[in-house]
Structure 1
Amino acid sequence: MQQIPILFEDDEIFVINKPAGVAVQGGEGIAHPLDEEFSKQVGFRVHLVHRLDKETCGLMVVAKNPAAASKWIDLIASKQVQKEYTAICFGQPLINGKKEKSGTISGSVVKKNGKNQREQSAVTNFTLEKSWSVEVPVFSGNPEEEASKLVMLEFSKIHLRLGTGRMHQIRIHLASVGSPICGDDKHGNFKLNKLAKKHLKIKSLLLCSSKLTIPTGGGKSRAFEIDLPDYFQF
């Protein structure tokens, strides 16, 4: 497995840049999880304090010891750690049937625990950074025929701040307002993903934890920001 990039290190934590496709924690059927592989990389056991979906890339905090993990779990829960994301989506967010350049998405997400499930309130704040369109061909089904028509796919680059941190919250919320994330095969739009994969070579979930602001003591903070991976460009 490739080395996990380290952006910052002190006595308590690492700030790392997790690649897409790496599960943060081991389990049945999961090979090379981040908590095991990064522990091997640094030479001692590290401790997770928050998570990213397997297919989401970007910035994470990882603790060096149990005491630091407990401290940073509390910092994250009290929102003293600010996590910001960037997503490339189909369409533009529709709030009350209108395209909006910024706003708040409020809606419950379902947390499953075995056969049990319960609704959790969730809040996502978004800002539309830019939008554009790409024309792609649609075929009738006969591979020897020329494209029967051209369709225009509309895309948006969206900046997101979380009011809550629920599992798959961003993916569920963006899909609920008509702007599913490109490459999201669980909560997204299957037909649009199929077109984008075929004609635009979009193969991964286009969601990145792109900015992370952490407290450094004395009322001060430090922000870390990364460029989007090359596969976000098309």
Structure 2
Amino acid sequence: MHSIPIVYENDDICIINKPSGLAVQGGAGVISAVDTALSEQVGSKIYLVHRLDKDTAGLLITAKNPRAASLWTKLIASSAVQKEYYALCTGEFSQLEGTVSDPVVHKGSAKAAFTSFCAEKQCRIGQDAEHTSLTKQGRAACENVLLQGSTSLCFSLVRLRLGTGRMHQIRIHLAGRGNPIAGDDKYGDFKLNRFLSKKFGIKKLHLAAVCLRFSETCFSLADVPRIKAEGAHDKPFTIEIPLPDYMNKTLSLLEFAP
């Protein structure tokens, strides 16, 4: 496989841009995973401190020694590191900003979960709706689905911030409010996903971890640099990356890029 992109590295941590489709941890039936592939790449053992779904792309913090692994596991669990994502959802957000607080059930146990969202851009296609923001190809594809019984189709580009880190939390919360992520084959709209795959080439989950914000706690307990700002106090260290190419391709087709 190709090398895993390293975004930031010091003596204790290695922050990567995990590709979609790469599992974080190895196990039965897993051909390749971050914990083994990254260890081979950097030439020393890598320790996991948090997770991303296999199909979710983006920023992942790993540790390079047991002490750092213990520290960063605690920092992430205490929300000293704020994680932000972008998702391309289907359906309209009547409330552009808010928090989903529905509990997430895992292995029969309901856990508290909080996801803040901000729908930054939306596009509706259908009866009495403007669809000039779409390309000719995009309009034709969306109008075709209207002929199959739907009255309209809406895409929403949503920025999300995690208050908790439950398994599949974002995917469950968005699907639960009627805005499943495009390409989500576990919690999404399966009929619509087939259409999106055929007409737009959406074959991957359109969810990416794009930003990590490190609080003052990280500076006091760990080796994390500050970012200097002219005429202002030091501001928290932030790492932000672009969306993966396959999401940008979809957004470009919809003329929907952020």
Deviations, residues 153-212 of structure 1 (Å, cap 9, x unaligned): 210000001111100000000011111000001011111111101101100000000101
Pick the aligned partner of 2:101 from 95, 100, 106.
Answer: 106
Amino acid at match of 2:26: G
1:228 paired with 2:219, answer: no
**Paired position in structure 2 for 1:206:** 206
Contact 1:137 1:150 in 2 (8 A): no
Work out the CA distance in 2 between the residues paired with 1:148 and 1:109. 34
TM-score normalized by structure 1?
0.88
Shift of 1:151: 6.0
SS at match of 1:45: coil
Shift of 1:149: 7.1
Q: Distance in 1 between matches of 2:42 and 2:196?
A: 38
Structure 1 contact 136–150 (Cα < 8 Å) conserved: no
Q: Which residue of the other structure, out of 144, 147, 172, is the alignment partner of 1:137? A: 144
More helix by share: 2
Cross-structure match for 2:112: 121
- The CA deviation at 1:121 is 1.1
Partner of 2:90: 90
Residues of 1 paired with 2:37 and 2:105: CA distance? 30
Aligned residues: 218
C-alpha RMSD of matched pairs (Å): 1.8
Change (3 A) 1:148 1:20: closer
After TM superposition, the structure 1 stretch with the greater mean CA deviation from structure 2, 149-158 or 24-33, is 149-158
Structure 1 runs not aligned, ≥5 long: 94-98, 140-146
Q: Please state which structure has a larger fraction of its residues in strand.
A: 1
Query: 1:79-132 deviations in whole A, cap 9, x for unaligned?
Result: 111100000000123xxxxx11100111011112xxxx2111111100011011
Q: Gapped runs of 5+ residues in structure 2?
A: 125-138, 227-235, 251-258
Which amino acid is 2:16 matched to? I
CA separation in 2, counterparts of 1:41 and 1:151? 50
Distance 1:149 1:124, change over 3 A: closer
Q: Report deviation, 1:30.
A: 0.5
Identity rate of aligned residues, in percent?
Answer: 50
- Secondary structure, counterpart of 1:204 in structure 2: coil
